[in-house]
Amino acid sequence: MVTASPWGGSLAATALRFARAAVAEGHAVGPVYFRGEGVYQVLSGRQADPGSEDLSSAWRALAESQAFELLLCSADAARRLPPGPVTAPWREAGLGEWFGCLADADRVVSF
């Protein structure tokens, strides 16, 4: 679960690095749930600092290569994001769906 803003510090990038490292070690990752200010990571083309990685594109590439979904908290997305649909592998999901995902996971990490 990622609650960190892509602009508020390095925690959002750390979440991505952690997911990449888990995949590199052979672990299954996903789905990843973004809530609070974490939903801003769906906004492509907005880097935290000049020269830093576009987190939206990076999450998309990782999710597509590993076939997992990127879930946006539907309530936070409605409050914080501009209106309009999001495209796969991003999609909106409620807490009920997230709790269902938790039941299938053997570990959960929060950033």
Q: Which helix (H) or strand (E) holds 33?
A: strand 32-34
Q: Kindly state the average pLDDT of the residues 22-28.
A: 95
Please tell me the predicted confidence (pLDDT) of residue 9.
Answer: 81
Domain membership of residue 34 (yes or no) is yes
Domain membership of residue 23 (yes or no) is yes
This prediction has a pTM of 0.90
Domain membership of residue 3 (yes or no) is no
Task: Tally the domains of the chain.
Answer: 1
Of 78 and 102, the structure prediction assigns the larger pLDDT to 78
Please tell me the predicted confidence (pLDDT) of residue 104.
Answer: 86
Q: Which domain holds residue 85?
A: 11-104
73 as an active site residue: the answer is yes
Domain membership of residue 6 (yes or no) is no
Q: Supply the CATH number for residue 80's domain.
A: 3.40.1260.10
The neighbouring-strand residues paired with 91 are 71
Domain membership of residue 29 (yes or no) is yes
Q: For 30-85, how does the pLDDT look when each residue is reduced to its tens digit (9 = 90+)? A: 899 999 999 999 998 765 566 678 899 999 999 999 999 999 999 999 999 998 88
Spot the catalytic one: 73, 77, 92, 93: 73
Q: Distance (Å, rounded) from C-alpha 40 to C-alpha 21?
A: 23
Q: Which helix (H) or strand (E) holds 75?
A: helix 74-80
The neighbouring-strand residues paired with 92 are 72
